Amino acid sequence: MAYGTNQIDQYRKGAVTGASPLQLVIMLYDGGLRFMEAGKRAMSQGDTYEQNQQLVKAQAVIAELMSCLDLKGGSDVARNLLALYAFCYNRLVEANLGDEPHGIDECIRVLSELRDSWVQIETAARASKIEAGHAA
């Protein structure tokens, strides 16, 4: 059975609507990483238009991650994440302007490690919720 674009869009909207806040953060990381990989691939093919399009999308994802941080709470974690996000955002700009794939690789490495941490947090939260449900 072939699915049309409309069905795929509806599925994606449903996945986002039903996702927990932790799952939404992981989805942002997934999108950002996907855009960086596509930008790097376009760079290797000499397609500067597509390179720019994809890396700008990756920057938008990072900006969204930055906007989600609660910096007023005084959390060291939030400040550290902001510093990492700012590093990646700026590094992507430099990599895009200089056609330099190493900068993209640095950002992929940083965001992949952060994504893995969020997945562990989400898994632990889900397990905790399941345990609480069994105890009730």
C-alpha span between 124 and 56 (Å, rounded): 33
Is 115 within a domain?
yes
Q: Which domain holds residue 114?
A: 18-135
Give the tens place of pLDDT for each residue, 39-74.
999 999 999 999 999 999 999 999 999 999 988 886
Give the tens place of pLDDT for each residue, 83-94.
999 999 999 999
Is 64 within a domain?
yes
Is 33 within a domain?
yes
Is 3 within a domain?
no
Tokens of 111: 């965001």
Higher pLDDT, 53 or 13: 53
C-alpha span between 52 and 54 (Å, rounded): 6
Is 9 within a domain?
no
Length of the chain counted residue by residue = 136
Residue 50: C-alpha distances to residues 88, 96, 118 (Å): 19, 11, 29
CATH of residue 92:
1.20.120.340
Residue range 90-114: mean pLDDT, rounded: 98
Confidence band, pLDDT 50/70/90 cuts, at residue 18? low
SS3 state of residue 18: coil
How many domains does the chain fold into?
1
Is 1 within a domain?
no
Is 4 within a domain?
no
User: What is the full DSSP assignment across 36-66?
Assistant: HHHHHHHHHTT-HHHHHHHHHHHHHHHHHHH
Question: Hunting for tokens 């942002």 — which residue is that?
Answer: 28
What is the per-residue burial (b if ≥16 Cβ within 10 Å, else e) of 55-74?
bebbbebbeebbeebeeeee
Per-residue confidence (pLDDT) for residue 129, from 0 to 100:
72
Is 114 within a domain?
yes
pTM of this prediction exceeds 0.85: no
